Amino acid sequence: MKVRVHVSLKPGVLDPQGRAIHHSLEGLGFAGVNDVRAGRLFELDVADSVSDEAIDDMCRKLLANMVIENYRIEKVAA
């Protein structure tokens, strides 16, 4: 089973990297970009026997830092 975990900064957490990317997009002449937030994508290949709870636990215990980040789990059809 393929699982994607999307990790993003919580609203209100300053994202200097996103700001720099935003600035660079503007430098390339792309107009109309209001904001950029940088995140992270994990692609996990896990056994079908792994429970949803276990995947959630992986996110909370390691993949995301719950102080500053949110996560979203997406199961991908093989």
Partner 1 sequence: MAFTSAVITFPGSNCDRDMAVALEKVSGTAPHRVWHGDSELPDGLDFIAVPGGFSYGDYLRCGAIASRSPIMKAVVAAAERGVPVLGVCNGFQVLTESGLLPGALLRNAGLNFVCREVALEVANAQSLFTSAYEAGQVIRIPVAHHDGNYFADEATLDRLEGEGRVAFRYAEEVNGSARAIAGLLNDAGNVLGMMPHPERAIETTHGGTDGRGLFESAIRGLVGA
List the one residue from 20, 50, 54, 76 that touches partner 1 (CB under 8 A).
20
List the one residue from 30, 43, 60, 65 that touches partner 1 (CB under 8 A).
65
Tell me how far CA of residue 74 lies from CA of 6, 21, 28, 45, 71, in angstroms.
8, 26, 32, 12, 10
List the one residue from 25, 44, 46, 68 that touches partner 1 (CB under 8 A).
68
- The minimum distance between CB 77 and partner 1, in angstroms, equals 27
Tell me how far CA of residue 30 lies from CA of 1, 21, 38, 59, in angstroms.
38, 12, 17, 34
Query: Which residues of this chain interact with partner 1, rule CB under 8 A?
Result: 12-14, 16-17, 20, 61-63, 65, 67-68
